[in-house]
């Protein structure tokens, strides 16, 4: 895809979250940060802060030690759960020894504490610390000089993400078992970009956007009489906070989506990143009926013990194994082994990247449940998928 220079030249502002429960004081701090050219978000409680952290990756955090529902010590401990390391300013009207102890705790947690302020303090003191933050945040330049990662970070709240859906078919009767939602970026200059890599700075808000839009689309299909369970990919950073399970379940209730119609796909590396928290989240989601798939099985080291350790309902065999099946006996042995173990655990198996009739026949022969790949269909936007559902399956020349 041809590139083009970007026309806008506005500077990219550093992002800051101010956490203070006193309304008037919080408003003054927000006004000061805005004057210093920050993009500012504010929270009056820990609950509001954690919601903001799920949706954004701030560069800096101004944090009062005492809040109505939590305190700075708990917040500092949880920041690591969100894979965030913002610059921090701590402020408090408590004993300064407590402020010093919290600063030490934050530094030992790997946070960059720019400074602490004991209340009451002057606007000039806060301004000094905010300016210190700005000097330490790397200069992002203008839109014309931004990396795609920074542009994507700005594009998510501007609804520049679009979803394409790739069907999964049952080997036995060619019925449609569901679709995988794959994100594409409708870049304002470059057009449609994708598939997107897992950029660490934006993966959490990106995943939330995909999850919400995929569930809304599923519900819209259901209203039109189209029953299509949907799956989405999630990353290790998305599974780093135990409360994620509650938020996902609340989202399903709000949208009136049955949990059994949602599958979360993750790789071995994702569950291994923080195994205790991942197990907590996945077990709770499974308890409520959400399906969980091990994605890309067969890339590098693949540990079948994971199938016993985590509550997987599905395995997706990576396209690299699928493409090697006919010529590589070792690939065939790996697939045979995982199918045997999966069968004993009641786990469904999907083969990814199925592109030829010969691959279809072989995978059907050795016991795969479902197939996904270009032999069936490329990923499609909603309108094209609806037309495909009306005509495409009947037109497919699939072996039986």
The secondary structure of residue 12, as a DSSP letter, is P
Q: Does the pLDDT value for residue 195 go beyond 80?
A: no
Confidence of residue 4 (pLDDT cuts 50, 70, 90): very low
Average pLDDT on 316-339 reads 84
Check the CA dihedral 123-126-128-132 and report its sign.
negative
Which element (helix H / strand E) includes 316?
strand 314-317
Average pLDDT on 366-383 reads 92
What does the alpha-carbon distance between residue 311 and residue 291 come to, in Å, rounded to a whole number?
Answer: 9
Report pLDDT for 271: 63
Residue of 103 and 149 predicted with greater confidence: 103
User: Contact at 8 Å (CB) between 201 and 400?
Assistant: no
Residue of 138 and 69 predicted with greater confidence: 69
Confidence of residue 252 (pLDDT cuts 50, 70, 90): very high
Six-digit token string for 352? 């990814």
Work out the percent of the chain whose per-residue pLDDT is above 90. 32
Six-digit token string for 135? 């000097």
* Bridge partner residues of 92 (DSSP): 118
Distant-in-sequence, close-in-space partners of 383: CB < 8 Å, separation ≥ 6: none
Confidence of residue 73 (pLDDT cuts 50, 70, 90): confident
User: Contact at 8 Å (CB) between 105 and 73?
Assistant: yes
Confidence of residue 138 (pLDDT cuts 50, 70, 90): low
Report pLDDT for 272: 58
Query: Can you give 284-303 as a three-state secondary structure string?
Result: HHHHCCCEEEEEEECCCCCC
Would you tell me how many other CB atoms lie within 10 Å of the CB of residue 71? Answer: 18
Report pLDDT for 54: 64
Q: Does the pLDDT value for residue 199 go beyond 50?
A: no
Q: Does the pLDDT value for residue 193 go beyond 90?
A: no
What does the alpha-carbon distance between residue 109 and residue 226 come to, in Å, rounded to a whole number?
Answer: 49
What does the alpha-carbon distance between residue 286 and residue 166 come to, in Å, rounded to a whole number?
Answer: 24
Highest mean pLDDT among 95-109, 186-200, 376-390 belongs to 376-390
Which burial class, exposed, middle or buried, applies to 188 when counting CB atoms under 10 A from its CB (0-12, 13-18, 19+)?
middle
Average pLDDT on 20-30 reads 87
Check the CA dihedral 384-385-391-394 and report its sign.
positive
Report pLDDT for 6: 31
Average pLDDT on 231-237 reads 84
Confidence of residue 273 (pLDDT cuts 50, 70, 90): low
Q: Does the pLDDT value for residue 103 go beyond 70?
A: yes
What mean pLDDT value characterizes the chain? Answer: 82
Average pLDDT on 382-398 reads 81
- Torsions phi, psi for 171 (to 5 deg): -65, -40
Six-digit token string for 139? 């200069």
Residue of 278 and 149 predicted with greater confidence: 278
Work out the percent of the chain whose per-residue pLDDT is above 70. 83
Residue range 110-133, pLDDT digits in tens: 788 999 999 888 888 898 999 888
Report pLDDT for 268: 61
Report pLDDT for 39: 83
Report pLDDT for 328: 82
Report pLDDT for 285: 94
* Bridge partner residues of 40 (DSSP): 16
């Amino acid at each position: 895809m041809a590139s083009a220079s970007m026309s806008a030249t506005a500077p990219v502002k550093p992002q800051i979250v101010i956490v203070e429960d006193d309304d008037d004081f919080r408003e003054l701090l927000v006004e000061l940060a805005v004057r210093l050219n920050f993009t500012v978000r504010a929270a009056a409680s820990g609950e509001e802060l954690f919601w903001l952290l799920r949706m954004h990756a701030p560069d800096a955090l101004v944090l009062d030690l005492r809040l109505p529902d939590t305190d700075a010590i708990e917040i500092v401990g949880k920041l690591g759960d969100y894979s965030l390391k913002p610059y921090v300013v701590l402020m408090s009207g408590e004993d300064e020894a407590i402020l010093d102890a919290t600063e030490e705790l934050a530094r030992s947690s790997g946070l960059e504490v720019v400074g602490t302020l004991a209340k009451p303090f002057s606007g000039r003191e806060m301004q000094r610390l905010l300016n210190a933050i700005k000097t330490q945040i790397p200069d992002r330049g203008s839109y014309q000089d931004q990396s795609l990662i920074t542009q994507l970070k700005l594009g998510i709240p501007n609804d520049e993400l679009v979803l394409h859906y790739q069907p999964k078919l049952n080997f036995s009767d060619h019925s449609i078992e569901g679709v995988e939602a794959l994100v594409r970026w409708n870049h304002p200059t470059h057009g449609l970009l994708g598939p997107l890599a897992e950029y660490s700075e934006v993966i959490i808000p990106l995943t939330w956007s995909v999850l919400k839009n995929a569930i809304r689309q599923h519900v819209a299909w259901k209203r039109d009489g189209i029953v299509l369970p949907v799956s989405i990919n999630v990353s290790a950073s998305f599974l780093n906070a135990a409360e994620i399970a509650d938020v996902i379940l609340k989202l399903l209730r709000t949208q009136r989506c049955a949990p059994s119609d949602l599958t979360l796909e993750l790789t071995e590396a994702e569950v291994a990143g923080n195994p205790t928290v991942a197990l907590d989240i996945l077990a709770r989601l499974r308890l409520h009926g959400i399906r969980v798939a091990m994605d890309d099985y067969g890339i590098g080291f693949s540990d079948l013990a994971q199938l016993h350790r985590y509550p997987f309902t599905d395995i997706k065999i990576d396209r690299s194994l699928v493409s090697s099946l006919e010529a590589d006996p070792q690939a065939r042995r790996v697939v045979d082994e995982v199918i045997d173990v999966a069968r004993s655990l009641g786990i469904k198996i999907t083969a990814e990247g199925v592109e030829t009739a010969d691959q279809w026949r072989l995978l059907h022969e050795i016991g795969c449940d479902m197939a996904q790949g270009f032999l069936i269909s490329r990923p499609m936007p909603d309108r094209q998928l609806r037309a495909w559902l009306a005509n495409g399956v009947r037109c497919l020349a699939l072996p039986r």
